[in-house]
Amino acid sequence: MEKLVSCLSLLTLIAVGALVEVNVAVAEDETAAPQFMLRVEIFDLPADEALRIQQEVAIQPDQLETRNAVLDMVKEGKARFVTSAPLVCRHGVRGKYEDIEEIPVIEDFTWNEEAKQLVPKFGIRDVGTIFEVDPNLGEDGETLDINFALEHHTGQPETKSLMVPMGDTEKSREVSVTHFHMKKVTTRVYLKRGAVALIGAFDVTGPRDKGDSGPTIENPKRLAFLCADVQEFDAESK
């Protein structure tokens, strides 16, 4: 019986020891993998003011003060806040933000010889804002290495008509197609903690969403800023 108790005690110690080692390993891993606090902010500005900001980028890469000035312009009614895309993800882990509407569209046509007509092939397109990122923290613990793609639609889709030839005949048929006002940026940037970068400047095309609020900006240019910071994970705070 004493030998059995000793064996059980030894097994208990081994189990406890393994549990401690696992907990420590998890804590160390979580401590070593900080969280990225990312946010894309999108604004409409007068074209001349947007151009001035773009010219500043070469002189002052960190656009924190400029972005704060844009916020003041929004309060004064001189600029318009469009949308934001917040995203929290861990170092080395891909993250994705989507604020979209699924739109059915005609992707292609096939010719039905028996019926002598075009047959549409339907699909789904996402319309809105999509922000996808692969973030990494540099060895110095200060440099943010951010590989990202931003897709943004500046207006609602529009339906347009096209005349499509019908086979070998001289006749044509009017078909409807969907036109999208999509803007896209795919790139990689290096930032310091708490920095803000101008990552996109888009022409505003397409009809304005009925749900949009704020003033109407004449001859607008749409600017996108990336705000980036890192939050260290403290296992003891759990």
Q: Give the tens place of pLDDT for each residue, 22-36.
A: 333 333 444 557 899
What is the C-alpha separation between 83 and 37, in angstroms, rounded? Answer: 17
Residue 17 above 70 pLDDT? no
Looking at the chain, the whole-number percentage of residues with pLDDT higher than 90 is 54
Q: Which residues pair with 111 in a beta bridge?
A: 118
What is the C-alpha separation between 117 and 109, in angstroms, rounded? Answer: 10
Under the banding of pLDDT at 50, 70 and 90, the label for residue 111 is confident
- If one compares 89 and 9, the residue with the highest pLDDT of the two is 89
Residue 13 above 60 pLDDT? no
Average the pLDDT over 222-238 and give the result: 80
Predicted pLDDT at 178: 86
* Average pLDDT score, the chain: 82
Residue 4 above 90 pLDDT? no
Radius of gyration (C-alpha) of the chain in whole angstroms: 27
- Cα dist. 2→10, 11, 12 in Å? 12, 14, 15
Residue 19 above 60 pLDDT? no
Amino acid letter at 54? Q
Residue 2 above 70 pLDDT? no
Under the banding of pLDDT at 50, 70 and 90, the label for residue 15 is very low
Under the banding of pLDDT at 50, 70 and 90, the label for residue 1 is very low
8 A C-beta contact, residue 220 and residue 46: yes
Predicted pLDDT at 167: 60
- Identify the weakest region by mean pLDDT among 23-37, 137-151, 178-192, 218-232: 23-37
Average the pLDDT over 84-109 and give the result: 91
Predicted pLDDT at 192: 94
What is the C-alpha separation between 164 and 162, in angstroms, rounded? Answer: 6
